[in-house]
Amino acid sequence: MAATPTHLSISHDLTSSTSLTNLQSQAIFGSKHCFKEIEKTQLRIPASFRRKALNLQMMASGKTSGLTQEANGVITDRENNTDVFDDMKQRFLSFKKLKYMDNLEHYKSLAEAQAPKFKQQFLVIACADSRVCPSAILGFQPGEAFTVRNIANLVPSYESGPTETKAALEFSVNTLNVENILVVGHSRCGGIQALMGMKDEVDSSSFIHNWVVTGKKAKESTKAVASNLHFDHQCQHCEKTSINHSLERLLGYPWIEEKVRKGSLSLHGGYYNFVDCTFEKWTLDYGASRGKKEGSGIAVKDRSVWC
């Protein structure tokens, strides 16, 4: 993983006779050909008309419904008869016109080097769940936070084998020198439900089980204090407990523990409840945690609820 990403292919000769307006038009739309393509998307034959024509064609050919490949090679959804990337394309062009071009200098600087900064530097470890996008719920903009996402936002132990999460930890802490690590959990987490529902014997053929077993200690802690609760409430308890166990595991990484001890790195937990749209945040209290008996968990401070 390189700390300096590939440069974006945007070069402007500001001393040339080309006007700034033309430059911006080219940057937004790429070329006259691309602009014509955009115009064409606004002059499409109505979908209902095309759907009827396609249905007649299908009936004549005897083909069944499902996915089809058009002459131009684009796979479409036959039921809706729309290119599944049309909406994504329009979102990208909107981003380019309304955000990229309005902040051109910022994006050009990002092309030179990756330096995530959001007040203080952050590494965010979040769940891969599509409902929990850190940039959306916490307002991170490109270049403001280094983010790694996995099932159930778990942190594996230092002693375990190599994983993408461990590589991200090493890169962000030792190369980017982030000042904060934020582990973000969330409500109704499918990964935690899988952890709480699986048997003690891990199914070695299941990638999911082999991953979520990383949170086994959080499951055991939850069962010890909440075994009499409904399964859904046990899962909710484990969702928060697993965050603290991940924070505790982070201290097992020598180069993380050293920076936390020196005060150059702080560890935080966050819990996003998308049912009522609240966010709970807390910080690991390193001094108090070191004074606790081994295996008794961590101490936290600065707990707050944003609602």
Helices (H), the chain: 20-29, 32-42, 47-61, 86-95, 104-112, 134-138, 164-174, 190-197, 207-212, 216-226, 231-250, 254-262, 286-290
Residue with token string 């729309």: 82
Closest among 190, 188, 212, 185 to 199, alpha carbons compared: 212
Q: Which two tokens stand for residue 41?
A: 């998307």
Distance CA 9, CA 24 (A): 14
Distance CA 241, CA 245 (A): 6
Angle between helices 231-250 and 216-226 (to 10 degrees): 130
Phi-psi region of 152 (alpha: psi -120 to 50; beta: other; left: phi over 0): left
| Rg, C-alpha atoms of the chain | 25
Antiparallel, parallel or unpaired: β 180-186 and 266-273: parallel
Q: Is 233 annotated as a binding residue?
A: no
**DSSP secondary structure letters along 194-227:** HHHHS-SS--TT-HHHHHHGGGHHHHHHHHHHHT
Residue with token string 């990484």: 253
Question: What's the CA angle centered on 149, arms 143 and 154, to 5 degrees?
Answer: 130
Q: Is 129 annotated as a binding residue?
A: yes
Q: How far is residue 196 CA from its own chain's centroid?
A: 23
Q: Is 127 annotated as a binding residue?
A: yes
Q: Is 189 annotated as a binding residue?
A: yes
Residue list for the binding site: 127, 129, 186, 189
Residue list for the binding site for Zn(2+): 127, 129, 186, 189
